[in-house]
Amino acid sequence: MDTNEETVQGQVVSNNDPLTIKSDLDFIEALRNRCGDYFLKCMQCGTCSATCNIAPDKAPFPGKEMAWASWGIKDRLMNDPDVWLCYQCNDCSTRCPRGARPGDLLAAVRQESIVQHAFPRFLSRWVNEPQSILLLLSIPIILLSLALILRDSIEEALGITKEVGDQILYSYSSIFPHWLLNSFFLFFTALVIIALIVGVKRFWSSLKAFDNPDGSITPVKGLMPSIFSAVKNIITHENFSKCTAERTRQFSHIAIFFGFIALSCVTLWIITLGINPLISGSFVYPFGFWSPWKILANLGGLALIGGIGLIIRDRMRHDAQAGAGNYYDWAFLTTIFIVVATGFFTEALHYVRLEPHRHIAYFVHLVFVFTLIVYLPYSKFAHVIYRTVAMVYAEHTGRNDDVSLDKGENK
């Protein structure tokens, strides 16, 4: 492939005819609904790509994406791994001479990409439209209520004996026993995992189609080493630290990220209570306040709420530096916030032994935990998966390899 063909490749959709551009006007409309008209002001000066510290030298983003968006070239954008390499630190948006906000555009493309790849699609449609919010919230309310109503008959049928005693009484297991919570959430988590596997498979073939229409790629790095590098990059927040315009996002993301990890560890520990070989002897549950697990959970919750608070503060500005922030962003932020807030609230009510308020709070908490986990494949939360996959793909195909390019040499 000579350079001319390569140049044209990204901007042309079919027949190798450089004059044929299939514009998808509905797609342009969808992007405008997500991030406004700003991107249509782009004049292709390349400031954004040149400013970006993360974009590789070869076919850098977000310059080419801005052109594709203006022209409505949907399949290039939907298959584009680069939109997922962007962290929306908005160095591009603050430097853009036209106020075209490339950072917001890429965020909008990522959202569209999740909607396109997620399975089943009707759910991603619901998660993405404000008018379905009541429907989405009523699902966990109904399901959890059903589980509580049916609890006794199931226990009877399965021959599960009710736990008794003061210590048990003052846990939540009198109403929400462990077997119920575990099986309820494990069942839905399994569904989420199946949906994610389908979504990721679709996404992976999209990525391959981006590099080559027939889907064949030449890996430069094995899959496992690629996964290792991507995960290492994610944990160290290495790419975040390259941003200059929005410095606080690195810290807020670190807080949220590790807060989540702390809470996940504690959850995993409790779920595996029955089968975990590491837990033996006198395992006391519920945890006392000074139990190391409780401390870890509380610290995780605090980190989460601190990080979310910082992000909400920045998002409120809606400026080029912070990014526009639309329903998609706010739904995600609000869900996390409510999960953590109701979590702490439930804990507090528990310590002051308020009956039955603590159970009501706990119920609300569980509704939002369900919302967060079960709608993960369709909400902004899905970035955890899609971004990781795209980063693995980038490592796998050598997207970030710029070593072959002569830096600092005049051509």
Partner 1 sequence: MNVSAKPILVIGGGIAGMTAAAEAAEVGYRVILVEKEAYLGGRIIRMHRYFPKMCPPTCGFEINTRRIRQNSRIAVYTFTTVEEITGKAGNFVVKVKKHPKYVTGQKPLDDSITEHITSERDNDFNYGMNKTKALYQPHDMAYPRGYVLDRDVLSDSDAETLVKICPEGAIDFEMQEEEIEINVGAVIIATGWRPYDANKLDNLGYGQFPNVITNVMMERLAAKSGPTGGEIIRPSDGKKAENVAFVHCAGSRDENHLPYCSAVCCMASLKQVRYLREKNENARATVFYIDIRTVGSEEKFYYDLLEDDKISFIKGKVAGISEDSGNLILDVEDTINREKLHNKFDMAVLATGMVPNTADLKIPFELKYDMYGFIDRSANIEGIYAVGCAKGPCDVSRAVKESTAATLKAIQCLGGGD
Interacting residues toward partner 1 by CB under 8 A: 3, 7, 10, 43-51, 55-60, 63-64, 95-99, 405, 407-411
- Cβ closest to partner 1, residue 21 vs residue 45: 45
Which residues are CB-neighbours of 5 under 8 A, at least 6 positions away?
16
Reading the block at residue 125, the tokens are: 């449609």
Nearer to partner 1, 156 or 409 (CB): 409
Tokens 């699902």 belong to which residue?
Answer: 139
Buried-state track 12-22, b at ≥16 Cβ within 10 A, e below 16? bbeeeeeeeee
Rounded-to-integer distance, Cα 34 and Cα 293, Å: 41
- Please state the closest distance from residue 217 (CB atom) to partner 1, in A: 19
Tell the smallest beta-carbon distance from residue 297 to partner 1 (Å): 45
Least CB distance to partner 1 at residue 47 (A)? 5
Nearest approach, Cβ of 403 to partner 1 (angstroms)?
14
Distance of alpha carbon 326 from alpha carbon 337, whole angstroms: 16
99 or 120: CB nearest partner 1: 99
59 backbone dihedrals φ, ψ, rounded to 5°: 45, 60
CB of 63 to partner 1, least distance (A): 5
Structure token digits, residue 238? 């290495």
Q: How far is the CB of 142 from partner 1 (least distance, A)?
A: 50
Q: Report DSSP state, residue 385.
A: H
**103 vs 259, which CB is nearer to partner 1?**
103
Instruction: Let me know if 369 is exposed, middle or buried by CB neighbors in 10 A (0-12, 13-18, 19+).
Output: buried
* Closer residue to partner 1 (CB): 50 or 190: 50
Three-state SS for 49? helix
CB 296 within 8 A of CB 266: yes
Of the two residues 48 and 394, which places its CB atom closer to partner 1 in the complex? Answer: 48
What amino acid is encoded at 227 in this protein?
A: I
